[in-house]
Amino acid sequence: MNNPDESYKNNSIAYQLSEDPTHKRLQINNVKEDQFSKPYLIAREYFKAVLELFVNPTANWVLLAACLRTSQGIVLGQCTDRFFTIYNTEEYNYDYEFYVLSQVATIVGSFICTMGTALICDAYDNYNYMTKAYICIYTTLISIPCSCMIYLCTSNFWISMAGYFIENLLSSGWG
């Protein structure tokens, strides 16, 4: 089993970024340039940073959560329009409302989410390096009832659209 403390001793990119999150300076170990080519050095440092992900079990769980969250966004984008056809009746067709409101939810939600998360990270990242992780955790926890509003409430179009709007509002900056 790898010791997480041992991985920090090799001056990896991930460790340098976590030590100095405000300036984001990298000090990659200098190797004689005549010994290796520059693309090889860049690739080697990149793979060191990728391997850093698999040293810590918490990083593995975060990677799994990111994959699941991405899958949820893909399903939300590809299957939601077909799901909303259940509200169409002989008296009224909600297709126009769905397409207009989904575009508004995507545009407004993406803008507000991206700007809001950027402002929060700028304000609190200097005090707590876990700010980005906490934002991801909280938005994911809030997205669970939003998904229930979208897919489990099959009797009211407007409740499902409210859940869709909130889901877009929360998932755009970190999805």
In tens, the pLDDT along 130-171 reads: 887 788 778 878 888 888 888 888 888 899 999 888 888 887
| Cβ neighbours around 61 below 10 Å, total | 10
- Total number of domains in the chain: 2
Whether residues 43 and 64 fall in one domain: no
Look at residue 85 and tell me whether its pLDDT is greater than 80.
yes
Whether residues 49 and 62 fall in one domain: no
Name all contacts of 21-24 with Cβ < 8 Å and 24+ positions apart. Answer: 21/125, 21/126, 21/129, 22/125, 22/126
Give the DSSP H or E segment for 104. Answer: helix 95-124
Return the percentage of the chain with pLDDT > 90, whole number. 1
Q: How far apart are CA 39 and CA 120, in angstroms?
A: 36
pLDDT at 30: 52
Whether residues 70 and 134 fall in one domain: yes
- Single-letter amino acid code for the residue at 137: I
Look at residue 42 and tell me whether its pLDDT is greater than 50.
yes
Whether residues 63 and 148 fall in one domain: yes
Residue 7 gets which letter from DSSP? H
Average pLDDT over residues 59-63: 77
Whether residues 42 and 71 fall in one domain: no
Q: How far apart are CA 48 and CA 29, in angstroms?
A: 12
pTM above 0.85, yes or no: no
Tell me which residue range forms the domain holding 46: 4-53
pLDDT at 58: 73
Task: Work out the pLDDT band at 56, boundaries 50, 70, 90.
Answer: confident
Whether residues 17 and 94 fall in one domain: no
